[in-house]
Amino acid sequence: MKHIHRVKIYYEDTDCGGVVYYANYLRYFERARTELFGAEGFSLKKLAEEGTQFVVAEAFLKYLAPGRYGDVLLVETWAEKIGSVSIVFGHLVVREETGERLAEGRVKLGAVGKDMRPTRLGRDIIQSLVRYGDGAAKGGVR
């Protein structure tokens, strides 16, 4: 299963040529992950207050075609790998109107405590994210 997050492209999202500024795709990935957690009943703010925060350990992004001012984009998000202290999310951005693939990427998040040292993911988080696995994650914790 994939989580879908819709993003409307405003003028502020673009460069002087009306093309989505390259770094914004990472912002869209972040929003999509936050919405995925919310859809599963997890507040990232509440998790942080309880002692589990997520930090980006790695990010990969490949641009395939330009998004443009006025487009509506769909950001598909799934769990590629779920470990005891980390999650690798896959992302694909497509233009809603045509389905054209614009960008794809992967982001590895590490779970850390308030002391910023690695901490184990809660079983409830793991069980929720397994539903978003791409096959590799469906077998459970890696």
Catalytic positions, written as ranges? 15
Q: d(Cα 93, Cα 74) in Å, to the nearest integer?
A: 6
Q: d(Cα 25, Cα 107) in Å, to the nearest integer?
A: 12
Sequence length of the chain is 142
How far is residue 101 CA from its own chain's centroid? 16
Amino acid at 39: A
Strands 53-63 and 3-8: unpaired
| Structure-token pair, residue 60 | 């990969």
